[in-house]
Structure 1
């Protein structure tokens, strides 16, 4: 949820909520996915969102309910940016919804996320989302959660997400410089500024670098144990040892790699969570650097860009090792039931890390372009 950067509405002004989410096609044939999507999301709108808003005197509308004539895309953008409140159904990560949600996040105005359980997109998993299931009893529970979220937000204010917080930090720095030039003081001397936000992001990037180092260490450990077992299995084979002896060797091997495989999976999950948490902040920070003249950057900015590029290089190096691990993990399961659990941990870690590292490449590409930009 995001707090507003603009002044709050006065009590006598009506509050309006714009609802963004998948809509489907009301004219599609019965039973088609498009028609089912329309009926499902209309039910969510009418039975969950509208009554929750009405309880607080808020008028809810979605794109197909805009009454004014005009360009629908222009109208949607205006509603996304200008509405007092936005409720976003992120189920399935619909591209249009995610684009509109990105516009809303930058404004810093109040936003509530909801989504169908099991269909939440990976890249915003760290943001608090009210989850619902299609059963009628669960819809009633989701309505109550939205009512509660609105009550708390209207009373205490909505929390800022990283893009809005970084933007506010920039605005406060600009205001602070102006105020200092005039001999005045800022309104909130303890609020974080842009450099504070950069420092927080850099701390997170250092932790991600440490995560990659831990995973590489686990890969080396499992690789060494695998080599030892391969030698032992070759000796047993040459000695015509019975199957029971080879099975015992595999069982010992499975036990020896269980702990590093489990740790690798846990650290991979932590790495991915850090990336999701930092993603919007890193992108917002890169956006701010893009509009800052090169000769006006400070040393901290260059260090930040260098940190993004270094992290990507380290992660890419480990990606090759992870690829070979993915192949070997699949073969382990066929050897013995003792290897099912460690093989599952290794496969899960490989999948999570590959996805996270691939997404991280965009950070590094933008950082390299900014680092190579000539002085203006």
Structure 2
């Protein structure tokens, strides 16, 4: 008897596989990128994922195949969390896919990654991913690889993933498997084992790192501000004394030299801040999604502290960005006075770009955190 036959006999009802991946727009104009994405990923679902699942009696469904009426975002989150299996197409690192994947990883339930060759996001490159190409033979090969992964997982248990492994590459212990039928909260779980919210500690370490980056940014801005004030006073004195242009240019050159090092430090800290943001984004969004789905009286102090931390960090970052932006504008105007300022102003402008990109995403974290905190106290 084959594994697929055994699995069919052991299950009274079809097991559910939720397929996470880019959807595209079926109503978009022909030859548009949105319509092409829809046709491509629908083909992957129909030719690769669904047949592989069907072989083992598993019912596969995409987000656009959810039949029940209701809030689609809530339905997707519940399917991501509750389904026996998730197959995630990570091609291109779609933000919605990465968010849903992060939410799934927190649950520790079986997940299979697939992705188009050459389109895999770097931040999950360490996780085994079944790769495919857009040819009939390669798609058939990808289907067989999924079948092999399912057969091995049902027989031996699936490798479990958590945000700790995704974000930090840490080793994790054995957990529940689809084959065993044991899930969180059932027999075999140590009462002292960590719960899902305990995994937030890993994410909080990353947020702590961003807080440290923000402190460096703030101190560097203060130093730049003090140096700029001193230079402004010197330039005013030279102007009032009707000093020659050579003296004024010499003063600007001295100012450029004094701000060169802190401007570089500012850009380095802002770059590190943005890189941490990009690395943590899917995990933080998943953590927020899990908090939202956890009853308020079961969240614990750690979850509430996590929400407060996100809100405080965003406020500090917004203040820092305003200070950098104001300073960058004034310094940028001086570039027209002397080329000596070009390099430090480029560093400051780069820091502004990194901070702006990061804070846009952070604002989404903070808005969700405020909503959850308000709901918890309202």
Report the TM-score range of the alignment, normalised by the length of the smaller protein. Answer: 0.5 to 0.7
**2:11 corresponds to which residue?**
none
Q: Deviations over 1:69-98 (max 9, x none)?
A: x94999996986647451324537476x56
Distance 2:113 2:289 in 1: 20
Sort the Cα spacing of 1:104 and 1:327 in 2 relative to 1 into closer, same or farther, 3 A: same
Q: Does 1:291 align with 2:295?
A: yes
Q: Deviations over 1:134-184 (max 9, x none)?
A: x99xxx9xx99xx79x97x9698252236999xx89x99856xxx8xxxxx
1:369 to 347, 365, 374: 374
Correspondence for 2:333: 331
Query: Aligned pair 1:345/2:347, yes or no?
Result: yes
Task: Name the residue aligned to 2:234.
Answer: 232
Partner SS for 2:296: coil
2 CA distance for matches of 1:298 and 1:35? 45
Distance 2:87 2:351 in 1: 36
Go from structure 1 to structure 2 and tell me whether the alpha carbon gap of 1:174 and 1:23 turns closer, same or farther (over 3 Å shift): closer
Q: CA 1:279–1:38 in 2, change beyond 3 Å: closer, same or farther?
A: closer
Summarize deviations over 1:295-347 as a string: whole Å, max 9, x none. x7755555445444443443344343234234335435444444333223322
Match of 1:242 in 2: 245
User: What SS class does the counterpart of residue 86 from structure 1 fall into?
Assistant: strand
* Residues 1:209 and 2:227 aligned together: no
Within 5 Å, give how 1:1-376 maps onto structure 2: 18=19, 20-25=21-26, 28-29=29-30, 31-37=31-37, 45=44, 71=67, 82=83, 84-89=85-90, 91=92, 93=94, 101=101, 104=104, 108-112=109-113, 114=115, 126-128=123-125, 157-161=159-163, 187=189, 191-194=193-196, 196-237=198-239, 238-243=241-246, 245-276=247-278, 277=280, 279-280=284-285, 282-284=287-289, 286-287=291-292, 291-293=295-297, 300=302, 303-328=305-330, 330-354=332-356, 355-356=358-359, 357-366=362-371, 368-370=373-375, 372-373=377-378
**Residues 165-206 of structure 1, C-alpha deviations (whole Å, 9 max, x = no match):** 9xx89x99856xxx8xxxxxx545785335643544444443
Q: CA separation of 1:79/1:37 partners in 2, compared to 1, >3 Å: closer, same or farther?
A: same
C-alpha distance in structure 2 between counterparts of 1:61 and 1:297, whole Å: 31
Cα separation, 1, equivalents of 2:18 and 2:372? 37
Maintained 8 Å contact 1:114/1:129? no
Alpha carbons 1:308, 1:363 under 8 Å: kept: no
Residue matched to 2:179 = none
Distance in structure 1 (CA, Å) of the matches to 2:311 and 2:28:
49
Counterpart contact for 1:305–1:371, Cα < 8 Å: no
Deviations 1:105-150 (A, max 9, x none): 5653314264797997xxxx8544899xxx99xxx9xx99xx79x9
Structure 1 gap segments, 5+ residues each: 1-8, 180-185
Work out the number of aligned pairs and report it.
329
1-side partners of 2:238 and 2:218: how far apart? 30
Q: Does structure 1 retain, via aligned residues, the 8 Å contact 2:18–2:60? A: yes
Contact 1:19–1:60 under 8 Å retained in 2: no
